[in-house]
Amino acid sequence: MNIFYEPRQGIALQGQPFYLEILMDIIGDTMEIAVAILYIVLGVILGAVGQGARAVIGIKKAADEAAATEKKIDEWFDWKRFLFSIVIGAIAGCLAAILLLEAPVNQELMLGLVAAGYAGTDFIEGLISKYTPAPAPPCIPTSSQEK
């Protein structure tokens, strides 16, 4: 067992107190973790924005159709489904951010994360619908069941 402290490679603090070397190692690790968390948070936010843009397009189309048939918003809009789709977009953005962890943060990265939320939602929803059972159709009583 080695009881001596060995600083990480690349950190040269010669002539500095021993505790400063240990502190710089801890800060270095913390900064790497903080950067990773910021990438993931950025991915979550921009993925949700991408899915939000996709949802706005769908809502606009549904609102136009509902206006033609004079339906109220409560009849055709489902808040739970909307929020669930935003969460799925956030997950897609998070996964994309993890894949792009070392990429420089610039306009291309940000647009890529938005696109991941936009397009990744279809992919994730497809997987969910493929591997989960379809909901049962509503039971409508027939005349023989009513007796």
Q: Which of 94, 88, 85 is nearest to 113 (CA)?
A: 94
Q: What is the pLDDT of residues 24-58, one digit of tens each?
A: 666 666 667 778 889 999 999 999 999 999 899 88
On the question of pLDDT at 138 being above 70, the answer is no
Q: What is the pLDDT of residues 87-132, one digit of tens each?
A: 999 999 999 999 998 888 899 999 999 999 999 877 877 787 788 8
Mean pLDDT lowest for which of 4-8, 63-67, 68-72, 138-142? 4-8
Q: Which of 92, 108, 109, 91 is nearest to 100 (CA)?
A: 109
Please state the pTM of the whole predicted model.
0.66
The domains of the chain are located at: 18-121
- Per the CB < 8 A criterion, the answer to whether 98 and 90 are in contact is no
Quickly state the pLDDT bin for 2 (edges 50, 70, 90).
Answer: very low
